[in-house]
């Protein structure tokens, strides 16, 4: 898939949701989170922001090495929502992009 921009939907604590996933994307968009650089709708940006905020509730902020408050079902539900959003983003961005979701799994 040379020439296709691979974008990773991957959540970081405190923000950042879309990241370059191959050399073509890195050359075009540089490093760091790229959601503000992509041609996506405000609704998609809002969905990304909402999922990012939800993601941050999975961490034990008082002592991060300890398990967070989410159950296995909550992780599974989050992963389903994020996967659905990755499909929406893929449709929105088109064939010049490959959107790949990297699931959280139970932490």
pLDDT at 37: 96
d(CA 66, CA 72): 15
User: Is the pLDDT confidence value at 12 over 80?
Assistant: yes
- For the segment 77-105, the average pLDDT, to the nearest whole number, is 95
Predicted model pTM? 0.90
Residue ranges of the domains in the chain? 5-101
Beta bridge partners of 94: none
Residues 6+ apart with CB under 8 A from 75: 58, 104, 105, 106, 107
pLDDT at 1: 47
User: Is the pLDDT confidence value at 102 over 90?
Assistant: yes
Give pLDDT tens digits for 15-62. 999 999 999 999 999 989 999 999 999 999 999 999 999 999 999 999
Question: Using 50, 70 and 90 to split pLDDT, how confident is the model at 104?
Answer: confident
For residue 45, the tally of other CB atoms under 10 A from its CB is 15
pLDDT at 86: 98
User: Is the pLDDT confidence value at 2 over 70?
Assistant: no
User: Is the pLDDT confidence value at 78 over 90?
Assistant: yes
């Amino acid at each position: 898939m040379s020439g296709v921009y691979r974008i990773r939907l991957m959540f970081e604590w405190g923000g950042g949701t879309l990241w370059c996933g191959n050399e073509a994307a890195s050359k075009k968009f540089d490093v760091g989170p790229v959601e503000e650089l992509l041609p996506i709708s405000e609704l998609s940006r809002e969905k990304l922001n909402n999922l990012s905020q939800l993601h941050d509730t999975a961490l034990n902020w008082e002592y991060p090495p300890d398990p967070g408050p989410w159950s296995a079902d909550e992780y599974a539900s989050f992963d389903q929502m994020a996967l659905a959003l990755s499909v929406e983003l893929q449709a929105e961005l088109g064939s010049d992009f490959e959107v790949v979701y990297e699931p959280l799994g139970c932490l």
